[in-house]
Structure 1
Amino acid sequence: MYTPKPKFSVVMPVFNVETYIGQAIDSVLAQSFTDFELIVVDDGGTDRSMDIACAYDDPRIRIVSQTNRGLAGARNTGIAASRGNYIALLDSDDCFHPDKLRLHYIHLEANPSIGVSYAGSRMIDAAGSPLSVAMQPKLRGIDAAHILCRNPVGNGSAAVLRRSAIEPVAVSDAKDFWRRCWFDENFRQSEDIEFWIRLSARHAVKFEGIEGLLTHYRIIPGALSANIVKQYLSWNRMLTKTEAYAPDLIAAHGATARAYQLRYLARRAVQLGDAQFARSLLSEALQLAPRMALAEPVKTGITGAAVLAANVLGTHRFRKLAAPYLKGAI
């Protein structure tokens, strides 16, 4: 069904994802809730991604092209072009559960005070096969401190935004007054958590989740440990920006948030094959917030055991032995 003003706008940034974009588009077209538009934002890639997108014959698909601006810039372009009352974000290597839009529509229609609706995510591997772990976040009682420390939204394909809640947040681009921005385009990483915290801490936008694993979040191997460093530096920039408008939030929760982030990056370092780096990251996390081990003993204990085993056995041998039990979890 095509309407000039759909209930939903699905915004999908695209940059060199020819292997996965077809699955992402198919997951949107397969939605049980059909009153949507899919805005595919061509972010200046060089592979066959846009050829694949253009081959679809569905009037609900709209293609917008731009020179490369990164993920934040592509999302801004898509949001600016969108017409729906609700905006669902989907990265082009992820997929939606067939009922995702329907369930978020029910949630947001029934609760006008909620500005951001989200749900848990099923982890899938590069081939699209389910992994043995999932993101199952806290769903209610969410405040800025919880977003800062635990980021319940979890990933960039989980959130559904109420247009009226995010319109007041838009600012003009520094180089183009008429270009509107929601995500901060100075960030090439951590742009989503920066936006969630700003929505909550600065603009009092309410976040609430719903039951279910409604996003299929793809884990793609091949990143380098250097990317972990970049991710941490970008995350720290987010903390510095937040401190400028919410100093009390950072004073009260900044150290704890940093510890949780370091623990997460320690798990990523094990996954990427750098056991020694993982040990350093986890050690720093526990020094910053020793109570983390008491607050979340299972997750901290599993992370510690994985880091220790990887250092004793060697990462390659550890991953081979642990694969049947910890696939996707480290």
Structure 2
Amino acid sequence: MKSSKNKVYPKVSVIIPMFNVEKYIDECICSVLNQTFKNFEVICVDDGCTDNTLNYLTDYKDARIKIVRQPNRGLSGARNTGIRVARGKYIAFLDADDFWDPRKLEKHVYHLDRDYELGVSYCPSLFVDEQSKPLGIGQFPSLKHINAKTILCRNPIGNGSAPVIRKDVLSQIAFNDGKRSWRQYFDENLKQSEDIETWLRIALNTQWKFEGIEEPLTFYRVNASGLSANLTNQFKSWQYAINKNSKKHAWFFEQFGSLAQAYQLRYLSRRALQSRNKFQALKLIHQAIWTNWRILTEEPTRTTLTWCCSLLCILPNKVYSTIERLTMRTIGLLQKRTTA
């Protein structure tokens, strides 16, 4: 990719926010450097690291790696900094505790290059544990015919390491909040649910298309600390992210808001199950069905499985864990079959 002054720019800018990730950064960086597609830059945003993360980066003698330092501003702030300095036509996000299949950039670049209406390309993700061991489950979302309702209710992108986005898309939805001197792409007031808010802003305010590719090319790490996070705060953050766009698009949220809330409560019920907070899981799944019973008709199998797992909370942990693994694998198989 060349500018008008014949400077050669990378086609893809890979943005890696970093905050105390010394345990994972090598695997993350290597998964980028081992890509079959080579025309990229790697922007590592030091978001106020206090551990040895930066010392690990000094071992890499690759001119494509750039380190940008800033005081801690959170994930949204680190991504925003990376976007502002990015030179690529396409922006790929990779959280520092996740990693990629070597073919990821090649597949997404091809996907975006052949469809000029496509703004956001994403893929399914496979879950791994803290030792990078596959868990046998993952996210296998819908891939085509994605609209704002799909994004609000089901968030097909799934996680922040899955999408590759045209930089023009992000420029189109940038905003100033009056509190900061810089333009934002991800809302820095959000510490959670910043992804869904950004994808929804794109879907509601632009004509760009969202579409996925079939291969699972992202490895998403399920951290024990993440599973035990405060689910009440997660739900409040999600509500704030959704409400941010509700005034401008009132008709849309009146039609789909309660359904999206039901899906979010069901998701949090599964998170509660994974962190062994079984009674909260039972409460959340009943709250989800009460909020909007349409989750029973739109996704009867997955909703029923979540409900059944919650009811089994009285079983011994060993028995329950076996049933949970079988259930999650069943859900994964159902996701693969329904992927379009």
TM-score bracket, normalised by the shorter chain, equals over 0.9
SS at match of 1:58: coil
Whole-angstrom distance in 2 between the partners of 1:239 and 1:232 = 11
Total equivalences in the alignment: 325
Whole-angstrom distance in 2 between the partners of 1:199 and 1:246 = 13
1:55 to partner: Cα distance: 2.0
Whole-angstrom distance in 2 between the partners of 1:319 and 1:124 = 20
* Equivalent AA in structure 1 for residue 210 of structure 2: F
Structure 1 residues 151 and 51, CA gap change in structure 2 (3 angstroms)? same
2:274 is the counterpart of 1:271: yes
Q: Retained in 2: the 8 A contact 1:125–1:131?
A: yes
* Equivalent AA in structure 2 for residue 186 of structure 1: N
Name the residue aligned to 1:313: 315
Name the residue aligned to 1:31: 35
Name the residue aligned to 2:218: 215
Farther-moved stretch of structure 1 (11-20 vs 219-228): 219-228
Whole-angstrom distance in 2 between the partners of 1:318 and 1:278 = 17
SS at match of 2:214: strand
Q: Retained in 1: the 8 A contact 2:227–2:274?
A: no
2:238 is the counterpart of 1:235: yes
**Which of 94, 98, 119 matches 2:98?**
94
Name the residue aligned to 2:11: 7
1:284 to partner: Cα distance: 0.6
Name the residue aligned to 1:301: 304
Q: Retained in 1: the 8 A contact 2:43–2:82?
A: yes
2:248 is the counterpart of 1:245: yes
SS at match of 2:171: helix
Structure 1 residues 176 and 255, CA gap change in structure 2 (3 angstroms)? closer
Name the residue aligned to 1:42: 46
SS at match of 2:216: strand
Farther-moved stretch of structure 1 (203-212 vs 142-151): 203-212
2:76 is the counterpart of 1:75: no
Name the residue aligned to 1:325: 326
Structure 1 residues 161 and 176, CA gap change in structure 2 (3 angstroms)? same
Normalized against structure 2, the TM-score is what?
Answer: 0.91
Structure 1 residues 252 and 173, CA gap change in structure 2 (3 angstroms)? closer
**Which of 110, 117, 121 matches 1:106?**
110
* Equivalent AA in structure 1 for residue 284 of structure 2: L
Identity of aligned residues (%): 43
2:60 is the counterpart of 1:56: yes
SS at match of 2:124: strand
Name the residue aligned to 2:129: 125
Structure 1 residues 302 and 97, CA gap change in structure 2 (3 angstroms)? same
Which structure 1 residue ranges, 5 or more long, are not aligned? none
Whole-angstrom distance in 1 between the partners of 2:327 and 2:22 = 29
Whole-angstrom distance in 2 between the partners of 1:226 and 1:32 = 36
Whole-angstrom distance in 2 between the partners of 1:224 and 1:140 = 29
Kindly provide the CA deviation profile for residues 214-265 of structure 1, in whole angstroms up to 9, marking residues without a partner as x: 1001111134655211110000001211202111111000000000000000
Structure 1 residues 176 and 236, CA gap change in structure 2 (3 angstroms)? closer
Name the residue aligned to 2:288: 285
Whole-angstrom distance in 2 between the partners of 1:33 and 1:225 = 37
Whole-angstrom distance in 2 between the partners of 1:282 and 1:176 = 39
Q: Retained in 2: the 8 A contact 1:202–1:245?
A: no
Which structure 2 residue ranges, 5 or more long, are not aligned? 1-6, 333-340
Normalized against structure 1, the TM-score is what?
Answer: 0.94
2:198 is the counterpart of 1:195: yes
Whole-angstrom distance in 2 between the partners of 1:275 and 1:199 = 36
Q: CA RMSD in A?
A: 1.8
Q: Retained in 2: the 8 A contact 1:115–1:166?
A: no
Q: Retained in 2: the 8 A contact 1:309–1:318?
A: no
SS at match of 2:217: strand
1:323 to partner: Cα distance: 5.9
